[in-house]
Amino acid sequence: MYYEEYGAGKPLVLLHGFGGCARNWHPFTAKLSERHRLIIVDLRGHGRSTNPENKFTHREAAGDVFLLLEKLGVDHFSAMGMSSGGMALLHMATSQPKRIDSMVLISATSHFPDQARTIMRRASFGTMPQQVQAMYRECAHRGDEQIRQLIAQFNALSEDYDDMNFTAQSLSTIAARTLVVHGDRDRFFPVEIPVSIYRSIPDAALWIIPGGDHVPIYDPKVPFTSTALQFLDGPHSR
């Protein structure tokens, strides 16, 4: 597993979305590292991390991150995850709830609705938006073969009904203070899903970004870094 570290202070784990890598967080690292020890991970099979099994589930990705944190001697931490990174965080926060103090879930979901499964099933490199293609090329350290493997894993997730299958009851076991961030124009996960996640997690806040598509935090008009830090370092942070 490849990871990067920046800054000092309370550990803040950052997890990218599917097809991405640690570089997806680089626009935010300067500000975030002023107050935190950043641990930015390449999830299995992404970026410079390997994946000999050539399969991906968010549950297994969560287990990988916990193993890395054990190697680094990190017990308690805060975390942020975008899309698949947020889904891995849901597995982490429900399986070992006492370890995460606060977290930010960006464009995550509790389950895959039909509209997401359709996109995932049909996905190919040629049909992806140009900026998504650019991200895949930038992050695929092993080139075209890695891109093909990732897209095949993305396609396979469309038929997986076990990996992302969180109920209100399972989400209610999360102990972390949680900020749910979502665009109201997300083409994968309609806004009803983040609202349901927010209502199910006991200590949660909700930020719906008007006009925001999937992972809408890169828009310069969206004050993501300041809002996230204000939440993570809020009056109730441990």
Neighbours of 109 (CB within 10 A): 24
**In tens digits, what is the pLDDT along the chain, a chain of 238 residues?**
999 999 999 999 999 999 999 999 999 999 999 999 999 999 999 999 999 999 999 999 999 999 999 999 999 999 999 999 999 999 999 999 999 999 999 999 999 999 999 999 999 999 999 999 999 999 999 999 999 999 999 999 999 999 999 999 999 999 999 999 999 999 999 999 999 999 999 999 999 999 999 999 999 999 999 999 999 988 655 4
Measured distance CA(23)–CA(135) in Å, rounded:
9
Identify the pLDDT of residue 234.
81
Identify the pLDDT of residue 238.
47
Measured distance CA(199)–CA(159) in Å, rounded:
27
Residue identified by tokens 């992404």 is 46
Sheet holding 100-106, edge to edge: 3-6, 36-41, 10-15, 77-82, 100-106, 177-183, 204-209
22: CB partners within 8 A, 6+ apart: 2, 3, 4, 14, 16, 40, 41, 42, 47
Identify the pLDDT of residue 211.
97
Closest CA to 18 of 48, 44, 50: 44
Identify the pLDDT of residue 194.
98
Closest CA to 209 of 234, 189, 186: 186
Closest CA to 212 of 227, 230, 201: 227
Measured distance CA(126)–CA(87) in Å, rounded:
26
Residue 164 structure tokens? 């992302």
Neighbours of 67 (CB within 10 A): 11
Amino acid at 168: A
Identify the pLDDT of residue 18.
98
Identify the pLDDT of residue 195.
98
Domains and CATH numbers, the chain: 3-112+164-233 (3.40.50.1820)
Measured distance CA(236)–CA(87) in Å, rounded:
24
